[in-house]
Amino acid sequence: MKPASFDYVRAEDRKEVLDVLRREGTEARILAGGQSLMPMLAMRLARPGVLVDVMGVPEFRILSDDAAGLTIGAGVRQAALGALPDLAQRHPMLAAALPWIGHAQTRSRGTVCGSVAHADPSAEIPLLLLALGGEVRLRSHRRARSLPAGEFFTGLMNTAKAENEMIDSVFIPAAKPGVGQAFREIGRRHGDYAIVACAAVADGAVLRLAVGGVADRPMMRSLPQPGDPTLEEALDAFAWDLGARDDLHATARYRRELVRRLGRATIEEAARCRA
Amino acid sequence: MPRLSAGARHRVRFALNGRAVEAEVEPRTTLLDTLRGPLAATGTHAGCEHGVCGACTIQVDGSMARACLMLAVQVEGASIRTVEGLAPAPDRLSVLQEAFREHHGLQCGFCTPGILMTLDAYLRDHPSPDERELREVLSGHLCRCTGYAPILRAALAAAERLREDVSHA
């Protein structure tokens, strides 16, 4: 459980970070809060040549919540979300999910963007970003671009981020008035990997359910309204299409059943919260 | 800043329990190994070394942190607090430590330093926690002896005692 050797650069500005990425590509890894990368290093699942510590970069400290939405810079820790004023009113799904993101002892260090970059299929933050129609804002020395969450996550711990790019920030649009949001999770304990996590948004006649912990990435689908007789069949089809597998924590069958039941409960809660 | 190269040792300086310390470390050396090795502060325990068990929990600039998930080079200039910093004097336990003794909040003691550092930080920010909140924050620690119930009792007792101390101060 000791990391292999690497160089370390404590970057002072964004340009310095992007220069290292340009020069060293796959050999370089961004070190932000370290709560996902450090275990990967300890287990030697990652063996980068150089770590670029971005926590001292002023440009990455941006955390702003305005009429358009919430912008979270690369250096913003998960615990900082909990300190946002009116989080539960302005971003009810984030407020509901926050206690499930790691533990208090890891939220104090881990960053929001770091969890997005890590793209663990059981992690809450990628699921929330997908469910809320979030964007991932990427930057390289050459260009800046923005991808919807649904295009950013491409597979098991895989993303559309190029070697020379980093996540500059993520953006979560402000909840429109009257839109219902809900989040539910089944795990052994808060902070453990989700066995199944569900996030639902009820926006007028449109109802979307995103599910984490089952497929190789968070997946989202539009579903019929609660009370619609076709909902049960649609949830069952979604549960099967996620391709659940048996693992140490739960069987595939149990996960499918959770998608049906927890999915329904989450949808119903979102619909109830809809004004 | 200049790049710290992999093979070499680099000097890192920070405050440990209020005292200025320095150590020579490779970039890959964790803060946990630096505390326990060159700084001989072995109160912080090394458990799983990948952030799961909570035994190595310390405070960095007042916030809880897993020492195994940090590099020593990351804490240049920071203020670190460990279990060695809790007791007000060599022959006196802190209120929290005393509550653990009184309520049998530890048996083998392996997980205890991490739990104490979590609760010390948590009770400072949340002086009147209920049992549910304490269960939540303790979920970041594994204890294989106590079954957690005595730890909860100790935490609740310490919170009450600390509130009394504040109101009598």
- Give me the CATH number covering residue B152: 1.10.150.120
B-facing residues of A in 27-66 (CB < 8 A) are 31, 34-35, 38-39, 41-43, 49-51, 53, 55
Residue B103 and residue B159 in one domain: yes
User: How confident is residue A1, by pLDDT bands cut at 50, 70 and 90?
Assistant: confident
| CA B74 to mean position of chain CA atoms | 17
Contacts of B76 in chain A (CB under 8 A): 10
> Can you tell me whether residue A201 is helix, strand or coil?
strand
Same domain (yes/no): B70, B99:
no
Taking alpha carbons only, the member of A237, A255, A238 closest to residue A246 is: A255
Q: Is B114 helix (H, G, I), strand (E, B) or coil?
A: helix
Q: Are B20 and B12 in contact (CB under 8 A)?
A: no
> Could A42 and B49 be called an inter-chain contact, meaning their C-beta atoms sit closer than 8 Å?
yes
Task: Give start-end residues of each CATH 3.30.465.10 domain in chain A.
Answer: 58-173
* Each residue's pLDDT tens digit, B96-141: 999 999 999 999 999 999 999 999 999 999 999 999 999 999 999 9
How confident is the model at residue B139, as a pLDDT?
94
pLDDT above 90 as % of chain A: 93
Among residues B31, B64, B85, the one where a domain terminates is B85
Interface probe with B: pick from A105, A115, A120, most Cβ of B within 10 Å: A105
CA of B141: how far to CAs of A191, A255, B44, B96, in Å? 10, 26, 14, 17
Structure tokens at B93: 């336990």
User: What are the DSSP calls for A76-102, one per residue?
Assistant: -BHHHHHTSTTHHHH-HHHHHHGGGSS
Class of domain A180-273: alpha beta
Span A7-53 CATH architecture = 2-Layer Sandwich (3.30)
Answer whether A9 touches B (CB < 8 Å).
Answer: yes
B10: helix, strand or coil? strand
Q: What is the pLDDT of residue A275?
A: 75
Q: In terms of domains, do B75 and B19 share one?
A: yes
What would the two tokens of residue A251 be? 């069987």
Name the residue of chain A whose CA is nearest to B134's CA: A104
Which helix (DSSP H) or strand (DSSP E) does residue A136 occupy? Answer: strand A135-139
How many whole angstroms separate alpha carbon B34 and alpha carbon B3? 20
- pLDDT of A52-81, one tens digit each? 999 999 999 999 999 999 999 999 999 999
**pLDDT lower than 50: segments of chain B:** none
User: Which A-chain residues 173-212 have CB contacts (< 8 A) with chain B?
Assistant: 189-191
Q: Indicate if B69 and B17 belong to the same structural domain.
A: yes
Tell whether A123 lies on the interface with B, counting CB pairs under 8 A: no
Q: Which of A2, A5, A190 sits opposite B139 (nearest CB)?
A: A190
CA distance A99 to chain B (A): 8
> How many angstroms separate the CA of residue B8 from the nearest CA in chain A?
9
Give the type of residue at A151.
E
How far, rounded to the nearest angstrom, does the alpha carbon of residue A40 sit from its chain's CA centroid?
A: 18
Q: Is residue B90 part of a domain?
A: no
Within this chain, do residues B80 and B99 fall inside the same structural domain, yes or no? no
Residues B117 and B147 in one domain: yes
Min Cα–Cα distance to chain B from A51, Å? 9
> B63, B85, B107: which is the final residue of a domain?
B85
Domain total of chain B: 2
Mutate to test the interface with B, among A108, A115, A190 (most CBs of B within 10 A): A108
Quick one: closest CA in A to B136, which residue? A190
Determine the straight-line distance between the first and last CA of chain A, rounded to whole angstroms. Answer: 51
Of A62, A84, A153, the C-alpha closest to A115 is A153
A37-55 in b/e burial notation, b at 16+ Cβ within 10 A? bbbbbbeeebebebbbbbb
Q: Is B29 inside a domain boundary?
A: yes
Range(s) of the domain holding residue B75: 10-85
Cβ atoms within 10 Å of B49's Cβ, excluding its own: 22
Distance in Å, alpha carbon of B4 to nearest chain A alpha carbon: 5
Q: Do A104 and B118 touch (CB under 8 A)?
A: yes
Residues B103 and B72 in one domain: no
Site of tokens 């948004």: A201
Q: A30: how many CB neighbours lie within 10 A of its CB?
A: 22
**CB-based burial of residue A74 (10 Å sphere; 0-12 exposed, 13-18 middle, 19+ buried)?**
buried
Q: Does A164 touch chain B (CB under 8 A)?
A: no
Q: What is the pLDDT of residue B169?
A: 65
Provide the 3-class DSSP secondary structure of residue B97.
helix
Is the domain A58-173 a CATH 3.30.465.10 member? yes
Average pLDDT along chain A: 96
B54 and B80 assigned to the same domain? yes
Examine residue B110 and state whether it is found in any structural domain, yes or no: yes
Min Cα distance A251 → chain B (Å) is: 23
Are B69 and B131 found together in one domain? no
Within chain A, which residue ranges are assigned CATH 3.30.43.10?
A: 7-53
Cβ neighbours of residue A23 closer than 8 Å, sequence gap 6 or more: none
* Of B7, B5, B11, residue with least CA distance to B23: B11
Phi-psi region of A119 (alpha: psi -120 to 50; beta: other; left: phi over 0): left
- pLDDT given at position B1: 64
**Structural domain contains residue B152:** yes
CA distance A169 to chain B (A): 22
Look at residue B45 and tell me if it is in a domain. yes
Residue B103 lies in a domain: yes
All residues at 6 or more sequence positions from A145 whose CB lies less than 8 Å from its CB, including other chains: A137, A138, A139
In a shared domain, residues B155 and B114: yes
ipTM reported for the complex, 2 dp: 0.94
Q: Which structure tokens are listed for A37?
A: 């990368």
Residue B168: the pLDDT is 77
Domain annotation covers residue B5:
no
The DSSP H or E segment spanning A71 is: strand A69-73
Instruction: Indicate whether B76 and B103 sit together in one domain.
Output: no
Q: How would residue A189 be classed by pLDDT, with cut points 50, 70 and 90?
A: confident
CATH 3.30.390.50 residue ranges in chain A?
Answer: 180-273
List, for residues A94-109, the tens digit of each pLDDT value: 999 999 999 999 999 9
Is B32 part of any domain? yes
Q: Domain with B28 in it: what CATH number?
A: 3.10.20.30
Tell me: do B66 and B16 sit in the same domain.
yes
